[in-house]
Amino acid sequence: YRDRISQITAMSARIERGYGQRPQGAWLTERVWEATVVPALADAGIRYVMVDDYHFLCAGVPRERLNGYFSTEEDGRRVDLFPISEALRYRLPFAPAHEAVAYLESLATESGQAAAIYFDDIEKFGIWPETYDWVYTRGWLTQFIEGVLASPVIQSSHFRDYHGRAQTHGIAYLPTVSYSEMGEWSLPAAAANDYADLVEAARQQGTLDRKRAFLRGGMWKNFLTRYPEANWAHKRMLVLSSRLAALPVEQQTDDLRGLLHEAQANDAYWHGLFGGLYLPHLRRAIWSAMVELERRLDVLQPRPGVSLGDIDLDGHEEAFLTNAQMQATVRGDADAAVVEWLSYPLRQNFADTLRRQDEHYYRKMHLQETESGHSGDGIASAHDIVRFKDPIAPADLVADTRPRALFVETWHGEAGPQAVEYGARLEQGGALLFLGQAGLARVGKIYSLHQNRLIVGLQANGAGRLETRIHLAIPCCDGVAGRYVVNGEVPGGFGQAFAWDNLADLRLEDHFLGGAIALRSVPPARIEARPHRTVSQSEAGFEKIMQAVELTLAWDISGPTQLRVELSVLALDQTNG
């Protein structure tokens, strides 16, 4: 409630400064409806919002009544609701202009008060595949506007004006819901496929129009259960919001509140038809804001060097190691890995990676569907297009069984590779010690911070090979601004794979970020480096996206052995590059 109010108020003030009018209505983000938004909307001066007609159908409102606005309330606060026509969303601009105009005319009533309600993404008018040529070059937009203006029954109107002159259609209470596609996207892959099969079966039976409102999938917040990385970012954001709200009022500046608003941009927390969470630059934007906000809050509200808490509600307590330069967060599960590694000077979370997950739309690739099932006049919606931006192999679609975090250990002994599983955790002198084992091998892991360095000590006892895997989110990804530096030489960039034997020092430079990570291994290790990529769907097709640099360090062990890995964060002018 608190942050909804401040976000809406800030946006309304900005619009008023730029256009001389303060908005009375809002297009609800992704039309994600929960009754809990009503008090914040009303208290922020919003009188009406636009949501999908699907929301009303889910509440049992007959389709023929969805030609005007309704009213709802929560805790006595009123907001009016406009039902956006799904039929119009799928016709504009994809159907021929004359068909779209004819459909609008078919909705007219003798009273002249029926509203055909439309609100949609501008990206469908020139950004989605094929739409620029269709809308502009081939004249769809001109034809549509001319058709509307020439129609004797169509009259365009601002929402504000219609709302001011028309009466409400009455009270409506909507369930927690978004548009129907969101219900599919937010489900885990297996459940999403089952849901899609149910919808398709109803379509084949000719009953979909009647049943669709009652064939509902998941809700938006399911994305936070599907993607641990999104849940972690969301819960970290909530902690920062609470810290900001706890400050004396005079310290709650617009700058701090603006950083919080940046961290709350929804795009990076979910994934549907488009990249969303899968796009590293979107995640980096919210993390950059959170890192800077936390740095400033720490100046006003200093924190201890070590703190504990299960903030992501997964049943495992996280340990936060903090100093003025950085923060390392270790999740207290069996991997005892670093799931967040912040550099405050660079405003970067180097652990902002993403694991491979099974996605429901992978089934499209398995079924080898054709590029487009669209036929006839008009063009296909991006929802219906199947394209490949990159070659995709079956191995690219295998889901990860362990997190793409920092310091995830595997023991290679007589029994083959085994995950090192940690149990007991001890805290001593600002350091964290985890005790683990893999079969008969014993492994200890110690985390500590020293200025700009994350220091990890590994103590192994057994006969075999110990590997630790480090995933680093480098902003330039596989672009030209990133490079490895080994013994003063540049073997290549982060999009390439390398292996070095008996290597003590490796530097990763990112000229886009303006910083570098210096890795030191004592004793030297065999180091393998390669890009970690995921496969996701976008409006332009299935694509591979580099999420992180994957470094695997390996040492041969025979008896008690002590190892140390240091990761230092440097500004680029502190390097030799």
- Which amino acids are annotated catalytic? 30, 121
Q: Is the N-terminal amide bond of 531 cis, ω within 30° of 0?
A: no
Query: Can you name the residues that pair with 26 across neighbouring β-strands?
Result: 49
At which residue do the structure tokens 């994305």 appear? 223
User: What is the C-alpha to C-alpha distance for residues 434 and 418, in angstroms, rounded to an integer?
Assistant: 17
**Please, which residues have CB within 8 angstroms of residue 416's CB and are 6 or more apart in sequence?**
none
What is the longest distance spanned by two Cα atoms in the chain? 90
| CA atoms 86, 542, 349, 436: torsion sign | positive
**Please, which residues have CB within 8 angstroms of residue 149's CB and are 6 or more apart in sequence?**
none
User: What is the C-alpha to C-alpha distance for residues 454 and 520, in angstroms, rounded to an integer?
Assistant: 11
Which candidate, 534, 524, 533, places its Cα nearest to that of 496?
A: 533
Kindly provide the b/e burial profile for residues 260-273, where b requires at least 16 CB atoms within 10 angstroms of the residue's own CB: bbebbeebbbbbbb
**How many other C-beta atoms are found inside a 10 Å radius of the C-beta of residue 53?**
23
Q: At what angle do helices 228-245 and 2-19 cross, to 10 degrees?
A: 80
Residue 343 DSSP class: E
Quote the tokens at residue 570: 């440097």
H helix intervals, 180-316: 180-185, 189-205, 208-211, 222-226, 228-245, 254-263, 280-300
Do the Cβ atoms of 323 and 451 come closer than 8 Å? yes
Do the Cβ atoms of 177 and 183 come closer than 8 Å? yes
